[in-house]
C-alpha cells in the first residue's frame, strides 16, 4: 500500500491534485476544503489511502494521518464508498464530523452531498461508539508521537488498520497525551489487537 506521497504540486482541481514524485505525476483525490488551500508549485506531504477496483486504482490524500484513519473508518459503514467518505470530509474535518456523530446531529450529517437521511442514520448507528478518539482526539502536539508509534507497529508486522486500531483502543482508555513513545507502544502491544 502507498502510505504517503511527498512532492511538488503541478496541477489541481476542486477535489484533486497532481503531485510530481520522481518525475511521475501522481493523481490524489483530496477533500475540496484541502484543495482550495493548495498552491501550485508548493511542496506537499500527504498521507494516502489506495482504493483498488477492477477498472481503476484511486489514491486519496489527507494532510493528517487522523483524517486518513477517519476516512478508512467511514468506509466501514454500510453504503458509504470512497466518494461519499470524501464528500463527508469535504466540508468539515474528522473532529467536527465525529462530534456530529456522537451528538447524533442528523441535520449536519444529512447536509453532506450523497449521504442523505438514511446514510446519516447509519453513520450514527454504526460509528457512535467508534469515533470518540476522533472527537476528543489526541492533542496536536502528541499526534506526531502517535504517528511514530503507528509506524513502529507497522514495522513489527501489523497492518496500518491494526496499528490504528491499537492506538484507538488505548486512547479511549488512557490519557496518552501524557505518555512518551515507549509507553504508548507498550500499551498498544498489550491492547489485545491480534495480528
Q: State yes or no: pLDDT of 138 exceeds 50.
A: no
The per-residue pLDDT for range 65-112, each reduced to its tens digit, is 889 999 999 999 988 999 999 989 887 788 888 888 888 888 888 888
Q: What is the pTM of this model?
A: 0.66
Q: Whole-angstrom Cα distance, residue 11 to residue 18? A: 5
What is the C-alpha to C-alpha distance for residues 136 and 28, in angstroms, rounded to an integer?
28
The answer on pLDDT for 137 being more than 60 is: no
Burial of 46 (0-12, 13-18, 19+ CB in 10 A): buried
How many residues comprise the chain? Answer: 195
Above 90 in pLDDT, residue 60?
A: yes
User: What are the structural domains, with CATH classification, of the chain?
Assistant: 4-62 (2.40.50.140), 65-131 (1.10.150.20), 138-189 (no CATH)
Q: Are 177 and 145 in contact (CB under 8 A)?
A: no
DSSP for 26-92, written as a single string: EEEE--HHHHTT--TT-EEEEEEEEEE-SS-EEEEEESSHHHHHHHHHHHTSTT--HHHHHHHHHHS
CB atoms within 10 A of CB 189: 16
Cα separation of 53 and 110, whole Å?
28
Q: Percentage of residues in the chain with pLDDT exceeding 70? A: 88
Amino acid at each position: 500500500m502507498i502510505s504517503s506521497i511527498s512532492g511538488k504540486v503541478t496541477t489541481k482541481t476542486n477535489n484533486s491534485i497532481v503531485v510530481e514524485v520522481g518525475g511521475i505525476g501522481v493523481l490524489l483525490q483530496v477533500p475540496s476544503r484541502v484543495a482550495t488551500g493548495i498552491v501550485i508549485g508548493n511542496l506537499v506531504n500527504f498521507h494516502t489511502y489506495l482504493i483498488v477496483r477492477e477498472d481503476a486504482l484511486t489514491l486519496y490524500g489527507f494532510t493528517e494521518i487522523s483524517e486518513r484513519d477517519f476516512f478508512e473508518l467511514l468506509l466501514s459503514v454500510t453504503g458509504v464508498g470512497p466518494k461519499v467518505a470524501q464528500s463527508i470530509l469535504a466540508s468539515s474535518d474528522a473532529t467536527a464530523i465525529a462530534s456530529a456523530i456522537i451528538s447524533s446531529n442528523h441535520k449536519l450529517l444529512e447536509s453532506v452531498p450523497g449521504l442523505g437521511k438514511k446514510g446519516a442514520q447509519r453513520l450514527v448507528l454504526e460509528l457512535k461508539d467508534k469515533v470518540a478518539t476522533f472527537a476528543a482526539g489526541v492533542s496536536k502536539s502528541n499526534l506526531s508521537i502517535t504517528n511514530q508509534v503507528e509506524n513502529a507497529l507497522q514495522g513489527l508486522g501489523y497492518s496500518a488498520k491494526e496499528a490504528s486500531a491499537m492506538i484507538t483502543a488505548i486512547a479511549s482508555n488512557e490519557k496518552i497525551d501524557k505518555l512518551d513513545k515507549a509507553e504508548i507502544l507498550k500499551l498498544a502491544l498489550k491492547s489485545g489487537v491480534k495480528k
